[in-house]
Amino acid sequence: MSSEQLVLEAVKQKNSSKTQSVLQKLFALWFDAFVYNQIWEDPRVDLQALRLNEDSRVLTISSGGCNALNYLIDNPESVTAVDLNRHHIFLLNLKISALRFLPTYEDFFNFFGFGKHSNNVENYKKFIAPNLDESTKKFWEGNGFFGNLFNGNRVNYFANDGLYQHSRNGYFLRFFHTFARFLGCRTDEILKANSLEEQEKIYQKHIAPFFDSFVIKVIGKMPVTMFGLGIPPQQYDELRRDLAEGGSVIDVYRERAKRLACDYPINENYFAWQAFGRKYDTENRRAVPEYLKEENYETLKANANRLQTKIGSITEEIKQNPIKTFNRFVFLDAQDWMNAETMTELWQAIWEKAENGSRIIFRTAGAISPIETNLPTDLQSKFDCQKEFSQELFKQDRASIYGGFYLYTLK
């Protein structure tokens, strides 16, 4: 089954209207591509909730693969990264091979910290390509007709304008940065702030006016606009349910952008650097993911063989493995895509296969946990929701793009 078919199976809902069915098919087509060049979930929050140790066996959705690598720093027994989108798995495969076979930390940082460097393609050919599986190698050394026409092979991203300018999410950010500049909003000014107070001032001057634009108010209300953020139609509906009376979805975007810009020190918030500057802090290397910090490099290199990747469904991965294969589960925001039947199948599989005390984390577009409204009562009773701790962790999430964070434990 192709990535497009896998995604369509994941997002399609029974009894959808004709409009929703069309949007779901369009999203599946859009998502059958390189969507995320980095993950948008804060690993600091994840690790506090997961409490990894040498007996932890993690099953996570891959996305950009950053957090699957970040988890290795805490020395778990194993990490398995699964994704419906083969492009994300190919990116993580590249990161793993680069980590294992590039000669130095600087070589690794040139690939995924800077995202581009004159030595990257040569290092890819010499050190990485010989150690890739054929599917991953074919992906990075191809790009389709139009991709090759404009950019050459995908591996050239790392030598030309950089990894973080590409992917569906990268193109989405590029478009809105260009439009923001047209409006006179220089969002990257916030990267120069030296305090939360300065961040607030710069936000009011260079970011808040963006949301007042008539054009943004129009296109921001269109579900297809959210495809660039990887948000399917039903997740967009979840956003709308959180609106105050008379409010607009633009108000949700504005509130979350302000949280991202103002609530956390900019000198360490790499999510804000990507959102407002489309890059990492390559000079001081504080606002970068943990897997890109030099102090973690040797640990990651030593643990890289504990990480494996698979293309497919996280539910099927649980069901097809023996009991107690996994005891930590990371679902990102995938449940916002699911209907009640699909979600029940997933949690039923956890109950049947996971060990007591297993920890499950996920995020939601809206504020309410979908478990409360979608799982049968008897299945819900098998799990404890750590509500207060979840709310505390949600407030710490530097990515700031979600409406809720949840930790559940298997009784």
Report the pLDDT value the prediction gives residue 336, as an integer from 0 to 100: 84
Average pLDDT over residues 20-40: 69
SS3 156: helix
281: left (phi over 0), alpha (psi -120 to 50) or beta: beta
User: Which pTM value belongs to this model?
Assistant: 0.90
Q: Once rounded to an integer, what is the mean pLDDT over residues 282-308?
A: 98
The average pLDDT across 70-78 equals 98
Query: Quick one: pLDDT band at residue 12, thresholds 50, 70, 90?
Result: low
Q: Is the pLDDT of residue 72 over 60?
A: yes
| DSSP letter for each residue of 235-279 | HHHHHHHTPPTT--HHHHHHHHHHHHHHSS-TTT-HHHHHHHHSS
> What whole-number percentage of the chain has pLDDT above 90?
69
Name the pairing type of β-strands 359-364 and 404-410. antiparallel
Instruction: Please state which of the ranges 21-30, 52-61, 134-143, 147-156 shows the lowest mean pLDDT.
Output: 21-30
As a whole number of angstroms, the distance between CA 218 and CA 99 comes to: 44
The dihedral over CA atoms of 115, 119, 122, 123, expressed in degrees to the nearest 10, equals: -70
Give the whole-angstrom CA distance, residue 363 versus residue 406.
6
| Strand order across the beta sheet in which 404-410 lies | 307-311, 78-83, 57-61, 328-330, 359-364, 404-410, 383-385
Out of 63-67, 110-114, 246-250, 280-284, least confident range: 246-250
Buried b (16+ CB within 10 A) or exposed e, 4-33: bebbbebbbbeebeeebeebbbebbebbbe
Cα 276 from Cα 253, distance rounded (Å) = 14
Domain coordinates in residue numbering, the chain = 1-411
**Segment 262-291, tens digit of pLDDT:** 999 999 999 999 999 999 999 999 999 999
Confidence check: pLDDT of 140 > 60: yes
Which residues fall within 8 angstroms of residue 222, CB to CB, at 6 or more apart?
none
- The amino acid sitting at 17 is S
Pairing state between β 328-330 and 57-61: parallel
pLDDT digits (tens, 9 = 90+) for 349-382: 999 999 999 999 999 988 889 999 899 999 999 9
Name which of 71-75, 154-158, 240-244 the model is least confident about: 240-244
Element (H, E) at 148: helix 144-151
Confidence at residue 151, expressed as pLDDT on a 0 to 100 scale: 75
Mean pLDDT of the chain: 89
> 388 vs 172, which has greater pLDDT?
388
Task: For the chain, state the CA radius of gyration.
Answer: 21
110 contact partners, CB below 8 Å, separation of at least 6 = 116, 117, 119, 120, 123
- Looking at this protein, which amino acid is placed at residue 201? K
Q: Has residue 8 got a pLDDT over 50?
A: no
| Res 35 pLDDT > 70 | yes
pLDDT, position 169? 80
pLDDT of residue 241: 66
The distance from CA 77 to its chain's CA centroid, rounded to whole angstroms, is 23
- Residue 249: per-residue pLDDT: 74
Name the token pair of 290: 């943990």
Confidence of residue 231 (pLDDT cuts 50, 70, 90): low
pLDDT tens-digit readout, 151-201: 789 999 999 889 998 888 888 888 888 888 988 999 999 999 999 999 999
Residue 319 banded pLDDT, cuts 50, 70, 90? very high
Residue 120's closest CA among 101, 133, 107?
107
Interatomic CA distance for residues 400 and 386, integer angstroms: 20
Phi, psi torsion values for 202, nearest 5 degrees: -70, -35
Task: Give φ, ψ of 59 to 5 degrees.
Answer: -115, 120
Residue 4, pLDDT above cutoff 50: no
What is d(CA 333, CA 125) in angstroms, rounded to the nearest whole number? 35
- For 357: left if phi > 0, alpha if psi spans -120 to 50, otherwise beta; the answer is left
Exposed (0-12), middle (13-18) or buried (19+): which is 360, by Cβ within 10 Å?
A: buried
Q: Strand 383-385 and strand 404-410: pairing?
A: antiparallel
- Between CA 337 and CA 84 the distance in angstroms is 12
